[in-house]
């Protein structure tokens, strides 16, 4: 996925940087520009990115969906998994117990003597720190990396469903 933050930069603004060269007085984000959604509709969003998007106003969540509002289109992702601990056998969301005791108890009681179906997680438990999501199929077909590369090769502008669906404001002179 390739997104670009668009800033509401005040006139005369100059960047102030810390010792590591990071900007310490960034202007507020006014929106995002969408270039492409990557090669697969599946996307993981870190807690940090979700928190930043919520705070900056370009990301909303609700009813099992995560929406990213860009100038071109509002991307609609179905949330498959939220951050937490999951059973590899039955995909149940388990208690987030730092010691892992409750997860081990679940596997021992529910899936005793059954090897983990996930070789990467032999204990039968996996932890994710991201929101695991899947993009709406129509949106991915329009915005995937291959479609973006083809548009660039042809010199075409990116499509904009928002521009197509927004009506022009009524004229003040009464003419159509």
Hey, where are the domains in the chain? 1-8+25-79+135-163, 84-128
**Eight-state DSSP code of residue 66:** E
Backbone conformation region of residue 136, classed left if phi is above 0, alpha if psi is from -120 to 50, else beta? beta
Q: Examine the pLDDT at 167 and tell me if it is beyond 50.
A: no
Residue with tokens 């994710």: 128
Structure confidence at residue 168 (pLDDT): 45
pTM of the model: 0.78
Structure confidence at residue 169 (pLDDT): 47
**Do 86 and 128 touch, CB atoms closer than 8 A?**
yes
Structure confidence at residue 98 (pLDDT): 87
Q: Examine the pLDDT at 91 and tell me if it is beyond 80.
A: yes
Gap between the Cα atoms of 149 and 156, Å rounded: 10
**Eight-state DSSP code of residue 23:** B
Mean pLDDT over residues 32-47, rounded? 94
Mean pLDDT over residues 1-13, rounded? 92
Higher pLDDT, 47 or 157: 47
Structure confidence at residue 96 (pLDDT): 86
Terminus-to-terminus CA distance in the chain, angstroms? 40
Other beta carbons less than 10 A from residue 157's beta carbon = 7
With a pLDDT cut of 70, the percent of the chain lying above it is 90
Mean pLDDT over residues 135-147, rounded? 90
**Cα–Cα–Cα angle for 50, 53, 57, rounded to 5 degrees:** 140
Gap between the Cα atoms of 8 and 27, Å rounded: 6
Q: Examine the pLDDT at 172 and tell me if it is beyond 80.
A: no
Closest CA to 62 of 79, 42, 86: 79
**Cα–Cα–Cα angle for 109, 115, 118, rounded to 5 degrees:** 110
């Amino acid at each position: 996925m390739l997104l670009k933050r668009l800033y509401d930069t005040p006139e005369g603004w100059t960047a102030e940087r810390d010792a590591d060269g990071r900007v310490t007085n960034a202007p507020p984000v006014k929106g995002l520009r969408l270039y492409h959604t990557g090669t697969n509709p599946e996307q993981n969003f870190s807690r940090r990115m979700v928190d930043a998007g919520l705070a900056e106003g370009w990301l909303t969540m609700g009813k099992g969906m995560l929406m990213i509002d860009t100038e071109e289109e509002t991307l609609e992702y179905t949330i498959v998994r939220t951050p937490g601990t999951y059973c590899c056998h039955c995909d149940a969301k388990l208690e987030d117990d730092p010691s892992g005791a409750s997860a081990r108890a679940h596997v021992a009681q529910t899936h005793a003597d059954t090897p983990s179906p996930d070789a990467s997680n032999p204990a039968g438990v996996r932890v994710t720190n991201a929101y695991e999501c899947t993009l709406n199929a129509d949106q991915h077909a329009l915005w995937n990396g291959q479609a973006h590369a083809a548009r660039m090769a042809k010199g075409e502008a990116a499509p904009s469903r928002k521009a197509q669906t927004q009506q022009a404001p009524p004229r003040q002179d009464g003419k159509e």
